[in-house]
Chain A
């Protein structure tokens, strides 16, 4: 038994971190926030060069053939620099949708293109994911109609992956007649939320799944764990930033980090934050290796990181004093990323509701 990242995983995280450190200074993030597409073409090219889009694509289709654990390693790094890259939707969920829910022929056609970074997917759930807003889409004779709000990674996609409430999934080209995307700037200025409208648009159905709901949940849960990892990275960044700030800032003739109230707040933060890393690893590992635990650990990881992320974001901002509240420092990009992640693919309340249902703990069910 070994519960740790491998040497390869650590090196992979380091190379991704090094790449991003140069690419994403705070000024770049600010510039990006102006466009708000959630997509930076130059950054994407670098990620393609590193092979990131093929992370979960099986080797026979030209990918690295790695697992959800490797994806959370990457997501923690991406969250740590608030990277505007369509990772969770396009690189993780769309890949897994093809891997778990498409015919060999479709896999042959699409997975190599995903691995090569030629296609990017926006992902939308009409049901299942527990998002608020409108989610009504239907599929008939290979045509998609309806409206879904809150699509993710849909700022500059080449294609859209849509899950219906019954678990069936279809891919629609973003430039297909009858498809319209309405972008909203979100609280997280680096990532938009997108409403999708389909008017009898041509769609390609991914119909290999025998149990469509279970397959959709598998894709969804992997996405949830990866979002949790992104939150972990963002929260860790805020924590680290706040820690170095309180070691330098002097008031009353003392470094403020020497005040016990400040120190104890950091002790509280690290006590809740550090176990989250093991939780995310475990949930990610479970997605590939422990099928009996996969759903519950994914739901709890998404819910728990949502809550811990919020607490860390608040306390780390507070530790910076007035500077933390300013635009000047830019710490708010991470605060907002954490806030955005919390609501994506189902917030903590909804995820716990699903965890309760999974265990038969439904409300008003006296026989529970």
Chain B
């Protein structure tokens, strides 16, 4: 056990601090991640790519920085950006999911064509996975791709497609081999959002914003060579991405930042002249969450170390999504309760403007419910934890495609 940094990492920390001192003023505001990056965000992203603070381990030939993988370096960089309150770079599905997938299973041409543009923010991707009838049971998806004259002709519908309304490209799972068992009949295709026959309809959520979309495919033609890895390999390709799940250190950092904001909120808000921090009910909820956050942060450090050592963390990693989203929701709930009736006025400015603090907290509070559902709902997470993590027997399977 040694929480001090090595000389190498201390040097990196100094380098990042110097960078932030020199360039920090160019950073876009935090929290603008749900819209297409503007010019300021793109300039910042390119600066970060050039310095290796994002895309650090991506080979130089594909536009990255070409550093050896070192999770501790990534953690040092993330910690300095978080501490300084500057934007740590774009996080989107192209960068976090498509790029690592292409690096592992893409052709050289696909890597050359897409990786650099994606990490620099010039090409925005959306993920065409979920369908109205295939949520938790994703492998039952029904959108068809039929090969005709060198093109896959796509018909069907996707849903919960975040950022489809401004994305340039989509990575899509569709069924190209209807006669094969469900996991073996899926292919992974790359296509332009401008392809004729593709229609995007924004899907307004409970936050009042259109964070997701429905995407309809009517005879959408995708050139055959835009498949990744091969026919029927789509389920395998989608799962490759899972191995590249980001270290959760950033998320513990985000929750910690949220806890600090709530402490400030309870210190500044009063009821009848008494600060909330000095009221037993509020303070006790805060203290419980503070304790849980200490456990969560320490757990993240443990996972980070295991990742650095190449150890598979197993159930310790599987609990992150379930535990983290529950903790996030309870933190946001305390903020909303601290705002009380004064926090009820709700005027979201949409995607292009800043909201007031109360509206932002309320959006987080509701958005966190979405996070519990998206990316494998928490009830599914509990199955994964117990079946894969604790080796409890699987549910008897009855569903068939």
Interface residues, chain A, with chain B CB atoms under 8 Å away? 1-6, 69, 243, 246-247, 254-255, 257-258, 260, 262-264, 266-268, 270-272, 274-279, 281-283, 285, 289-290, 296-297, 300-301, 303-304, 307, 352, 355-356, 361-368
Contact = CB atoms under 8 A, between A and B. Distances in A.
Contacts of B393: 247, 254-255, 257-258
Nearest to A67: B1
Contacts of A277: 302
A268 B2 CA distance: 30
Contact of B9 (A1, A254, A285): A1
A366 B273 contact: yes
B125 interface: no
B279 interface: yes
A3 B273 contact: no
B287 interface: yes
A362 B297 CA distance: 25
Contacts of B286: 361
* 6 pairs of A and B residues whose beta carbons are closest in the complex: A278-B298, A263-B386, A275-B299, A267-B382, A279-B295, A282-B298
B319 interface: yes
A105 to B, nearest CB: 33
B1 A258 contact: no
B379 interface: yes
Interface string B277-298: 1111001101110111011111
For B1, B290, B296, the residue with the greatest tally of chain A CB atoms inside 10 Å of its CB is: B1
B278 A364 contact: yes
B275 A368 contact: yes
**Interface majority SS (helix, strand, loop, mixed), chain A:** helix
Interface residues of B, number: 59
A363 B379 contact: no
A74 to B, nearest CB: 15
B395 A260 contact: yes
A121 to B, nearest CB: 27
A271 B278 contact: no
B392 A263 contact: yes
Contacts of B304: 3
Contacts of B309: 4
Contacts of B267: 368
A257 B390 CA distance: 10
Contacts of B284: 352
Given A258-B393, A274-B299, A275-B298, A5 B1 contact: yes
Nearest to B396: A258
A368 B302 contact: no
Interface in B351-401: 379, 381-383, 385-387, 389-396
A303 to B, nearest CB: 6
Interface in B237-295: 267, 270, 273-275, 277-280, 283-284, 286-288, 290-292, 294-295
B22 interface: no
Given A257-B393, A274-B316, A276-B295, A352 B287 contact: yes
Contact of A297 (B4, B278, B294, B315): B294
B283 A363 contact: yes
Nearest to A302: B291
A274 B319 contact: yes
A263 B9 contact: no
A8 to B, nearest CB: 11
Contact of B387 (A3, A263, A282): A263
Contacts of A271: 319, 322-323, 385
Contact of B290 (A6, A257, A355): A355
A283 B286 CA distance: 19
For B4, B75, B319, B387, the residue with the greatest tally of chain A CB atoms inside 10 Å of its CB is: B319
Interface in B13-62: none
A267 B381 contact: yes
Contacts, number: 161
Contacts of B319: 267, 270-271, 274-275
24 contacts: A1-B2, A1-B4, A1-B6, A1-B9, A1-B75, A2-B305, A3-B302, A4-B305, A257-B393, A258-B396, A262-B392, A263-B387, A267-B386, A275-B298, A278-B298, A278-B302, A283-B294, A303-B287, A304-B295, A363-B283, A365-B278, A366-B274, A367-B275, A368-B267
Contact of A368 (B278, B288, B308): B278
Contacts of A297: 294
Given A3-B1, A274-B315, A278-B302, 13 more contacts: A3-B3, A3-B301, A243-B392, A263-B392, A267-B319, A267-B383, A270-B315, A270-B385, A275-B299, A278-B299, A296-B294, A352-B287, A361-B287
A277 B6 CA distance: 25
A350 to B, nearest CB: 12
A258 B322 contact: no
A363 B291 contact: no
A300 B298 CA distance: 12
Contacts of A352: 284, 287-288, 291
Contacts of B203: none
Nearest to B316: A274
A3 B277 contact: no
A69 to B, nearest CB: 6
A243 B393 CA distance: 11
B291 A300 contact: yes
A1 B5 CA distance: 5
B294 A260 contact: no
Given A266-B392, A355-B290, A4 B283 contact: no
Contact of A290 (B3, B274, B283, B290): B3
Interface in B185-203: none
Nearest to A286: B3
Contacts of A268: 382
Nearest to B266: A361
Contacts of B382: 263-264, 267-268
Contacts of B75: 1
Contacts of B299: 274-275, 278-279
A326 B3 CA distance: 45
B138 interface: no
Nearest to A282: B298
A368 B383 contact: no
B122 interface: no
Contacts of A247: 391-393
A355 B287 contact: yes
A19 B217 CA distance: 66
B323 to A, nearest CB: 5
B306 interface: yes
Contacts of A262: 392
A22 B319 CA distance: 34
Contact of B1 (A285, A307, A366): A285
A289 B1 CA distance: 10
